[in-house]
């Protein structure tokens, strides 16, 4: 099976890039299932029902979240209706779930959302929690396990890889919006990248208009971050293929700048 993973979709420019390109890419790369991170999809902060339906209509099959999952309070009513999850290590009483399970090509697939500790909201220890969760899934015979690790620190993502590379199919980093050049497949068959990178504006600061961030660095004064309506755009996506045992056979990074031809780079195979 071939899975596509899209990192943080930032505002309307990010959504429009999926509208323009996603269904064509799904056909060209024979993609069976598409995952995307929604936490910045509605003007950079959270997700509205309108934008949720929009992204699903563009070809996204399910969506993961992060520290901005609850910025739009209407999401509290969406978890039971739409294929959305939030980081599983939020407190137990937090609305929503951290695992999405489905059947794909007759195989059970589990998609997990996890949030790091550094600079993040109150949450349980992601490392101690994930070990027992993955063990439980494998005890149920689920071999295809995909994790969105939403974290600021690259060290947290890399540590998770070394903990789980023998037990999960893929660990895909999100949150920083800045793509890392370390997509590879371990010898154990785990697809890994520290950060997939944003889909949205590429000529600002992490997808936002540059005026407020620059002012903040110069003066120490904060302001409201805005997503520009008109900007240079970028789509970034990882596509990986899994065998019947849930091991990754190959992976590639797809990038599209504005409406230019796609750029495809192959993952390093250990």
Element (H, E) at 18: helix 11-28
**168 DSSP assignment:** -
Strands 184-185 and 268-269: parallel
Give which of 45, 116, 26 is closest to 14, Cα–Cα: 45
Dihedral of CA 112/80/89/151: which sign?
A: positive
Helices within 165-254 (DSSP H only) = 211-219
**Inter-residue contact 175 to 66 (CB < 8 Å):** yes
Record the tokens describing residue 233, joined without a space. 């755009």
Given the residues 21, 68, 144, 150, the one annotated as active site: 68
Task: Give yes or no: 68 in active site.
Answer: yes
Distances (CA, A) of 153 to 25, 132, 148, 213, 217: 30, 22, 14, 20, 21
Unique residue bearing structure tokens 């420019």: 13
Record the tokens describing residue 118, joined without a space. 């550094």
Give the chain's largest Cα–Cα span: 56
**174 DSSP assignment:** E
Catalytic (active-site) positions: 68
């Amino acid at each position: 099976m071939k899975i596509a993973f899209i990192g943080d979709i930032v505002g309307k420019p990010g959504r429009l890039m999926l509208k323009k390109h996603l269904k064509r890419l799904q056909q060209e790369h024979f993609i069976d299932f598409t995952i995307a991170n929604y936490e910045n999809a509605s003007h950079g902060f959270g997700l509205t029902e309108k934008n949720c339906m929009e992204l699903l209509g563009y070809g996204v099959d399910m969506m993961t979240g992060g520290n901005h999952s609850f910025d739009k309070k209407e999401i509290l009513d969406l978890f039971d209706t739409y294929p959305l999850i939030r980081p599983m290590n939020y407190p137990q009483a937090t609305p929503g779930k951290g695992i999405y399970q489905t059947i794909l090509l007759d195989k059970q697939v589990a998609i997990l959302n996890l949030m790091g500790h550094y600079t993040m909201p109150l949450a349980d220890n992601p490392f101690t929690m994930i070990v027992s969760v993955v063990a439980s899934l494998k005890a149920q015979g689920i071999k295809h396990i995909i994790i969105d690790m939403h974290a600021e620190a690259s060290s947290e993502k890399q540590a998770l890889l070394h903990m789980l590379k023998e037990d999960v199919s893929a660990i895909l980093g999100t949150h920083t919006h800045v793509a890392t050049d370390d997509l590879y497949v371990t010898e154990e068959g785990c697809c890994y990248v520290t950060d997939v990178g944003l889909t949205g504006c590429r000529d600002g600061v992490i997808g936002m208009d540059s005026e407020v961030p620059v002012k903040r660095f110069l003066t120490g004064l904060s302001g409201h971050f805005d997503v520009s309506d008109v900007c240079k755009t970028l789509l970034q996506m990882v596509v990986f293929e899994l065998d019947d045992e849930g091991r990754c056979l190959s992976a590639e990074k797809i990038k599209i700048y504005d409406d230019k031809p796609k750029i495809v780079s192959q993952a390093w195979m250990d």
